[in-house]
């Protein structure tokens, strides 16, 4: 039986030939990747292979669970990306709205350096001059970025809550799949232990 | 009430409306009520039968000759394929939604209608004649025009807000429908997973009862 990776050991990349059961061998439906626009097939394949190599499924049922775990982790990551994108979009929008109302936004030392859109982009990219200018403008209006976000988040709270629910749902399913693998392997290990205990006295004789 | 001639014509027309006649048309109309087909189990879809059979054979493994194990493995395979179908449907749905720029946009708030203006009334003939006599006809005509413009602006604003509110309402309905679909598919997946777990436990239970050299299951 293949030796399982210990928790403290880094998972060694072994050739695919070492893997007896791989989710893509379960049929065309399982070989199809559940990807959305912007996701890269190679990254999903690499992730699936890494998890498969680490878990080393010993039969078809464990392979089903590996596929579950991978898909659900991928899905949760996707929702997290969507949420981060949404927060970024909301923040940019709010900042643009605020800066548009400020006369002279984008002027540094009396010289027009940025348009509002450029100022927001430079701020998001971490340009030190833009960060300083935006912080100054917000402070002069008694605001900071957290307060700005809090103001606009209420509008999108429903979206964020829904995305959070989907993340929680995917995480719960992943945890259940993991505990099913544990339960099954525990039962198998217990059976092995009982069998081994029976075998030892016979050998001693 | 329709006349007897009209009734006869309706009946004659209805006789001609007997649905699609070609095989292709019948095949298409058979799917009229189907939205996503996920409520139908994989075993009831002939195109998926080979996949279910093959997966069941893999799950049953060495016990594939036992008909009871075979049936239990088929149930697991069917549920596992149902899980994958729902998952792919959900990915496709999310892919479509994320391509829609409105999907994550805030729903615009409804705007209240502007305060109603008092009913418009142009100056009376008497007032106009009097204005001509007084030499204030131009002022009167100007004030009439101003009031008329106010009414036209008011009407345009009412129209704009009505369109805005209708658009907001439509977006809210679409938004509910889109998220509702995702929630629904989430529920479908939960149920399919639950069926798979039940089927798996049943299969494990059956395997434990098989006569083996090993000790019984713990």
pLDDT digits (tens, 9 = 90+) for A96-149: 888 888 887 878 777 888 888 898 999 988 889 888 888 888 888 888 888 888
**Higher per-residue pLDDT: A90 or B73:** B73
Distance of CA A157 to the CA centre of its chain: 21
What pLDDT was estimated at residue B74?
A: 95
CB contact under 8 Å between B81 and A155, yes or no, is: no
CB contact under 8 Å between B51 and A28, yes or no, is: yes
Residue B135 β-bridge partners: none
Give percent above pLDDT 90 in chain B.
47
Domain that holds residue B193: 38-209
- What number is the average pLDDT over the span B177-190? 90
Residue A110's region, left for phi above 0, alpha for psi from -120 to 50, else beta, is left
CB contact under 8 Å between A169 and B190, yes or no, is: yes
* Residue of chain A with shortest Cα separation from B86: A34
Question: Which of B47, B87, B198, B201 to probe the A interface (max A CBs under 10 A)?
Answer: B87
- What number is the average pLDDT over the span B41-45? 84
What one-character DSSP code corresponds to residue B124?
P
CB contacts < 8 A (A, B): 78
CB contact under 8 Å between B84 and A30, yes or no, is: yes
Cα–Cα distance between B115 and A11 in angstroms, integer?
70
- Give tens-digit pLDDT for A6-18: 444 444 444 444 5
Cα–Cα distance between B180 and A165 in angstroms, integer?
13
**Numbered residues of chain B with Cβ closer than 8 Å to any chain A Cβ:** 51, 54-55, 58-59, 61, 76, 80-81, 83-85, 87-88, 90-91, 94-95, 98-99, 104, 106, 179, 182, 186, 189-190, 193, 196-197, 200, 204, 214-215, 217-218
What pLDDT was estimated at residue A31?
A: 85
Contact in structure between B79 and B196 (CB atoms under 8 Å): yes
Query: In chain B, how many domains are there?
Result: 1
Give percent above pLDDT 70 in chain A.
84
Cα–Cα distance between A131 and A133 in angstroms, integer?
5
Question: Hey, what are B9's tokens?
Answer: 């014509």
* A198 contacts chain B (CB < 8 A): yes
- Give tens-digit pLDDT for B75-126: 999 999 999 999 999 999 999 998 888 888 778 888 999 998 887 788 888 9
Q: Which residues of A touch B54 (CB under 8 A)?
A: 27
- What number is the average pLDDT over the span A171-183? 89
The residues in A 40-59 lying below 8 A from B, measured between CB atoms, are 59
pLDDT of residue B35 exceeding 80, the answer is no
Contact in structure between A73 and A174 (CB atoms under 8 Å): yes
Query: Of the candidates B85, B94, B193, which has its C-beta nearest A173's C-beta?
Result: B193
Residue B75 lies in a domain: yes
Q: Which residues of A touch B83 (CB under 8 A)?
A: 68
Residue B20 lies in a domain: no
pLDDT of residue A2 exceeding 70, the answer is no
Q: For the beta carbon of residue B140, count every other beta carbon within 10 angstroms.
A: 17
């Amino acid at each position: 039986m293949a030796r399982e990776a210990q928790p403290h050991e880094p998972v060694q990349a072994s050739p695919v030939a070492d893997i007896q059961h791989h989710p893509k061998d379960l049929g065309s439906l399982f070989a199809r990747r559940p990807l959305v626009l912007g996701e890269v097939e190679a990254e999903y394949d690499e992730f699936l292979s890494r998890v498969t190599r680490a878990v080393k499924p010993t039969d078809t049922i464990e392979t089903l669970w590996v596929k579950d775990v991978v898909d659900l982790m991928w899905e949760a990551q996707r929702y997290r990306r969507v949420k981060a994108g949404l927060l970024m979009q909301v923040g940019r929008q709010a900042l643009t709205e605020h800066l548009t109302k400020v006369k002279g936004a984008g002027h540094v030392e009396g010289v027009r350096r940025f348009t509002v859109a450029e100022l927001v982009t430079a701020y998001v990219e971490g340009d030190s001059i833009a960060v300083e200018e935006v912080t100054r403008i917000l402070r002069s209006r008694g605001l900071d970025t957290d307060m700005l976000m809090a103001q606009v988040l209420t509008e999108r709270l429903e979206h964020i809550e829904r995305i959070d629910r989907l993340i929680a749902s995917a995480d719960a399913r992943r945890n259940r799949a993991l505990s099913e693998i544990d339960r099954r392997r525990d039962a198998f290990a217990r059976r092995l232990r009982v069998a081994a205990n029976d075998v030892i006295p016979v050998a001693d004789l | 009430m329709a006349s007897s001639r009209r009734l006869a014509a309706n009946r004659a027309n209805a006789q001609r409306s007997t649905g699609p006649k070609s095989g292709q048309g019948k095949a298409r109309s058979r799917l009229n009520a189907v939205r996503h087909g996920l409520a139908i189990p994989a075993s009831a879809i002939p195109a998926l039968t080979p996949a279910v059979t093959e997966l069941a054979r893999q799950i049953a493994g060495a016990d594939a000759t036992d008909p009871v194990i075979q049936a239990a493995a088929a149930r697991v395979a069917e549920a596992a394929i149902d899980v994958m179908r729902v998952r792919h449907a959900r990915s496709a749905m999310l892919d479509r939604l994320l391509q829609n720029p409105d999907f994550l946009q805030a729903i615009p708030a409804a705007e209240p209608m502007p305060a109603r203006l008092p009913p418009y009334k142009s100056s009376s003939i008497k007032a106009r004649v009097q204005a001509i006599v007084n030499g204030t006809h131009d002022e009167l005509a100007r004030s009439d025009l101003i009031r008329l413009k106010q009414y036209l602006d008011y009407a345009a604003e009412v129209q704009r807000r009505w369109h805005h509110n209708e658009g907001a309402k439509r977006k809210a309905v679409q938004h509910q429908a889109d998220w509702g679909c995702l929630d629904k598919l989430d529920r479908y997946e939960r149920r399919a997973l639950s069926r798979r777990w039940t089927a798996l436990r049943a299969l494990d239970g059956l395997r434990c009862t098989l006569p083996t050299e090993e000790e019984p299951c713990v």
